[in-house]
Amino acid sequence: MSIEAKDNRAAEPQIWTRLNRVFREVFDAPGLDVGPDTTAADIDEWDSVGYITLIVSIEREFGIEMIGPEIGELQSAGDIVELIASKLAVTS
């Protein structure tokens, strides 16, 4: 996983739609539109507590469970979508 995550918006449109909804809710930013390269540096409220809230909210939204090493590698929204997609692929 890296900051230069590939643009997977076309391959995972539903995940991106739902993830954007989660971001807007968690960070209380109705106009927020995150993309593959969005990182904590782009969102003021994306601090340590905000990140935990984000992870918990993503787990609830997608019905998945992450583990510590996985979330430690996430650096961008693109990374998050990749991880979600891999989790959903395993459970479907």
Partner 1 sequence: MYDEPFDPLNALTFDDLIVGMTASFHHRITIEEIERFAALSGDTSPMHMSDDAAIEHGLDGRIPHGMLSGALASRLVGMHLPGPNGLLQSMKLTFVRPAPIDEDLLVLGRIEAKSPATHTVVLKIRITEAKTGYMVIRGSAQVGVLNPES
Site residues for partner 1 per CB under 8 A: 49, 52-53, 55-56, 59-60, 65-68, 70-71
| Least separation in angstroms between CB 18 and partner 1 | 16
For partner 1, the closer CB: 3 or 56: 56
What is the closest distance, in whole angstroms, from the C-beta atom of residue 10 to partner 1 in the complex? Answer: 28
How far apart are alpha carbons 48 and 51 in whole angstroms? 5
**DSSP secondary structure letters along 6-74:** ---TTT-HHHHHHHHHHHHHHTT-TT----TT--GGG-TT-SHHHHHHHHHHHHHHHT----HHHHHH-
What does the DSSP 8-state code read for residue 5?
-
Residue number, 49 or 89, with CB nearest to partner 1: 49
Instruction: For the CB of residue 65, give the shortest distance to partner 1 in the complex, in Å.
Output: 7
Q: Which is nearer to partner 1, 5 or 87 (CB)?
A: 87
